[in-house]
Structures are given as C-alpha cells and as structure tokens.
Structure 1
Amino acid sequence: MTEKTQEPLDFLKSMWGNMGFPLPGMVAPTVDTDELDRRIADLKAVEGWLRSNLSMLQMTIQGLEMQKNTLATMQAISQSAGGADANPFANPALWPWNFMQQATPGMPPAGAEATPAPPAKEAAPSAGKGKPKG
C-alpha cells in the first residue's frame, strides 16, 4: 500500500465529478453570496410554482367533492321520487292535468267521491242554563 495524503472527500468528488453535474451543496457548500442569492431566487420560484399547483389541486378536489355530493343528492331525490308515482311527464296529454293537481293540492281528484261530513252532535241541554219550555 502506498501512503498518500488525501482529503476525506477526494474519492467522493472524483466519483461525482465524472457524472457531469456539480457536487451538491451539502457536500461542498458554496461561500459565494451571488451564488447563494441565485439559489434562493430559484428556490423561491419553485416554491411559488408548488404553491400554485397546490391551490389548483385543492380547487380540483373541492370541485370533485361538490360534484360527488350533487350526484348523491340527485340519486337520493330520484330514488325517493321513483317510489311515489310514475313519471308524470311520460304522457304529454296529461301535462295540464298534472300541473293543475300541483296548483290545487287541497282539492280532491275529479274521480274521487266526496266523503259525507259526519252528522253534527246535538248539544245536550244544560241543567241550569236552558230556556224554560212553554
């Protein structure tokens, strides 16, 4: 073995140098303030880009959540309406009739017979307050 005085990072520098791009700042930190300013500006640009992408991602997620909730609501409405009646708009000839029924909800349908009112109960004469007969 030959004894050479080597810097501890010479081996790493020679390996990294053959790759074609500079050694990262963690291994050999720069002391040039202009280089540091350039790196800071680059990193701030990347930060701004990432923030804009984050906000677009959040807006997309919110839009999809709103779409999901809308579809779930529409499905619930269609399921609850599906059990009640058949589609009132299926026969166009009945449209005015259907609209009229909706406009007057208290009216009974034309084919339904009116139920007779229950007979009125006669008021029982009270003992002390009634008129004398005669």
Structure 2
Amino acid sequence: MSADFNPNDPFALMRQFWQNATPAGAQPFLPPLSEEEIDRRIAELRVVEGWLTMNLGALSLQIKTLEMQKAALAALKPKGDA
C-alpha cells in the first residue's frame, strides 16, 4: 500500500486508481470532441438504439408466441389431468 493510504477514506483507493490510470491534465470521462465527432457518435448511437429496439421487438414477439402456445396447450389438456 502507498504511504498516503487512509483507511478512514472509503474513496482513497478509487481516487489513487484514477490518478494513476490517467495522464496529468486528462479528463477520463469527457474527452474533447469536435462537432463532427459528436455528430458521428450520435449517429452510431442511433444505429445501436435501432438495433436494440428491433431486438426488443423480436424478444417481445417470442414471449407472446410462447404465452400463446402455453395457453393453447392448457386449453387442449383434458380437465381430469393435473
């Protein structure tokens, strides 16, 4: 452990990690972006959003199909079987 470790500070380990992981003056979560870079990233995220929406629709359809199959099997099951 480093000499400046303080067990009473719960965030000391994370702070030390981020200080060692990023170069001096760098912003780890907000890299500088140009307007073109921001537009490109928005477009990429819109594509991902569309893909996720499509997959959510397919998942919902699969769930509904299975629910309908379960209901059909329950309706066809003889009343005496448990």
Check whether TM > 0.5. yes
The structure with the greater share of residues assigned to helix is 2
Which residue of 33, 40, 50 maps to 1:31? 33
Determine which structure has greater relative contact order: mean sequence separation of CA pairs < 8 Å that are 6+ residues apart, divided by chain length: 2
For residue 79 of structure 1, report the CA deviation from its aligned partner.
3.3
Q: 2:70 aligns with which of 64, 68, 71?
A: 68
Superposition deviation, residue 31 in structure 1: 3.0
Shift of the 72–26 alpha-carbon distance from structure 1 to 2, 3 Å rule, reads farther
- TM-score with structure 2 length normalisation? 0.62
- C-alpha separation in 1, matches of 2:53 and 2:63: 15
- Structure 2 unpaired stretches of 5+: 1-17
Distance 2:65 2:30 in 1: 46
Offset of residue 28 of structure 1: 3.3
Could you list the runs of 5+ residues in structure 1 that have no partner in the other structure? 1-8, 15-22, 81-134
After superposition, the CA RMSD in angstroms is 2.7
Partner secondary structure for residue 79 of structure 1: coil
Decide which structure has the larger Cα Rg and report it.
Answer: 1
Match of residue 20 from structure 2: 11
2 CA distance for matches of 1:73 and 1:26? 58
Q: How big is the shift at 1:52? A: 0.1
Report the TM-score when normalising by structure 1. Answer: 0.40
Distance 2:29 2:79 in 1: 65
What percent identity do the matched residue pairs reach? 39
Q: What does the per-residue CA deviation read over 1:36-71, in whole Å, with 9 as the maximum and x for residues that have no partner?
A: 011000100000000000000000000000000000
